[in-house]
Chains A and B, each alone.
Chain A
Amino acid sequence: MTEDDDLKALMRRADPTTFQAPIDEARIRRVAAAAERDSVTPSARKRPRWLITGVSAGAAVTAAAAVLIAGLVGAPAVQAPGPTGGAITCDAPTAAALRANDTAYEATVTSVEDGVAALRVTATFAGEPGATVDLPQMSDPATGGDLFVVGRAYLVAMTGGFASDCLTGPATDELRQVYVSAFGNGPPRLIRTDPGGLNAQLYQSPLR
C-alpha cells in the first residue's frame, strides 16, 4: 500500500456518511419529482430524448450516467404535471429506441402503495429484471394520470434501473409487437413468477 493509499483509506474511514443512516433512494426520486413540479422553465418541459433512449452502444458509459439523471429528474416527475402544464411528449416507440435499454419485460401490477408500484414480471425480453420489480408510479402520457393500475399488465423498458417514460406502457398488442421487434422473435420463454412457491406456476412469455 502506498502512502497515498494509506492516507486515502484513513480518510475514507473518517467519512461522516459511514455513520449516517442509509440513503433512501425512494426519497431521492420523490425529491427529484418535486423539483420538476416546482420548477418553472421557459420552454415546454420536453424531456431531452437522448437522455432516455436512443443512445449508441459506444456511449454506454456516458449514457448510463445520463440516464440516471434523466431517471432521477424525469421518471417520476410527470406524475403531477407542473405549473407550466408540462406533460412530456413522446415519439412513437420504436425497436431501435427499445434496444438502447438494458432491461425490458412484461409485468403485472400487484400493488401500488405510497407512490411505488410493485410489479410481478411475467415475461422477460432483455436483461434480468427478477421476479418482482418496484417502480415509482409513472404518468400515463395519454391521460396525465397515474400509469400503473393494480391488476393490469405493462411493458417496461429500463436503463440503469430507471424506466423509460416513453417506452413503458400498458401491454397492448401493438406495443408488445414493438418489443418483439426489438428483442427478437425467438421461442417463448417460460419463467417462474411466483416466488412464494405455493402457487408457483409457469407463465408463457407473450413473445412471438
Chain B
Amino acid sequence: MRAHGDAVLRFLRRRTDPQIAEDVFSETMLVVWRRFDEIPEEALPWLFVTARNCLRNAERSARRQRRVVERIITVDPPSETTHGENSDPREDCLRAALAHLSATDAEVLRLWAWEELGPQDIATVVGVSVNAATIRLHRAKKKLRQEMEALCPPAPSASLEGGNR
C-alpha cells in the first residue's frame, strides 16, 4: 500500500529534479513532525502545501548559490525525465504549452492531473476558495488547449478542442 510519503515525494519529483526532491522531502518530513498536531484529517493537501513551501525555501536558498540554482526547475518539470524513445509528439507539445502558462495555472493543472486532486483539495493547496479553484482549473484547461493549438496546430482529427466535431 502506498503511503502519503510516496505521494509527497512524487509531488516533489514532479516539480524539481530527483536529488533536490529527496533533500526537500527530508525537510518536509521534519516540518511534518514538528507540526504533527496541526495535521488535519484530510492530510494530503496539507502535506502538499508543506512540501511546496519547503521547496520554495530550497529555491530561495538555491538562488543564493549559483551552482545549485540551475538544478532547480520551478515551472517546467525536469526535462531529463520526460523523453521516452516512443514519446507522443503531443506530449512534447503539452510540455511546451504548460511552460507558457502562468505558474498558478500550470500548478492547478498538475494538481488535477498528476496529484489527482479535486477542486476542494486544489483550493487548499493553491490557497484560494473552492469556487475560485474550480474556475481556475476550467480556465487553465482552456488555456492549455489554446496554447497547444497555437504551438502545434493539430491534425483535424487530433484536436483536443472540439473533439469529433
Contacts and interface: CB of A to CB of B under 8 A. Distances in A.
A74 to B, nearest CB: 9
B68 interface: no
20 contacts: A3-B160, A7-B113, A11-B113, A13-B88, A16-B77, A16-B78, A17-B13, A20-B13, A23-B9, A25-B6, A28-B9, A31-B25, A34-B26, A34-B29, A39-B34, A62-B41, A68-B1, A69-B39, A71-B3, A73-B33
Interface of A: 3-4, 6-8, 10-17, 19-21, 23, 25, 28-29, 31-32, 34-36, 38-41, 48, 62, 65-66, 68-69, 71-73, 77, 160-162
A36 B33 contact: yes
- The B contact surface, by secondary structure, is helix
A48 B82 contact: no
Contacts of A14: 77, 82, 91, 94-95, 98
A35 B26 contact: yes
B109 interface: yes
Interface in B13-59: 13-14, 18, 25-26, 29-30, 32-34, 36-37, 39, 41-44, 47
B1 A17 contact: no
A1 B9 CA distance: 30
Contacts of A20: 13, 18, 81
A8 B113 contact: yes
Contacts of A66: 39, 41, 43
Contacts of B91: 10, 13-14
B161 A35 contact: no
Nearest to B28: A35
B26 A68 contact: no
A31 to B, nearest CB: 5
**A-B interface, 7 closest residue pairs, ranked by CB to CB distance from nearest:** A11-B113, A35-B29, A28-B5, A16-B81, A16-B77, A35-B30, A161-B1
Contacts of A8: 112-113
Contacts of B5: 25, 28-29, 31-32, 68, 72
B156 interface: no
Nearest to A14: B91
Contacts of A77: 33
A207 B41 CA distance: 36
Contacts of A68: 1, 3-5
A114 B88 CA distance: 41
B114 A15 contact: yes
Given A11-B94, A65-B43, A39 B1 contact: no
A161 B78 CA distance: 32
B141 interface: yes
A6 B160 CA distance: 7
B128 to A, nearest CB: 20
Contacts of A69: 4, 32, 39, 43, 47
Contact of B82 (A7, A16, A21): A16
A19 B82 CA distance: 6
A31 B29 CA distance: 7
A39 B6 CA distance: 21
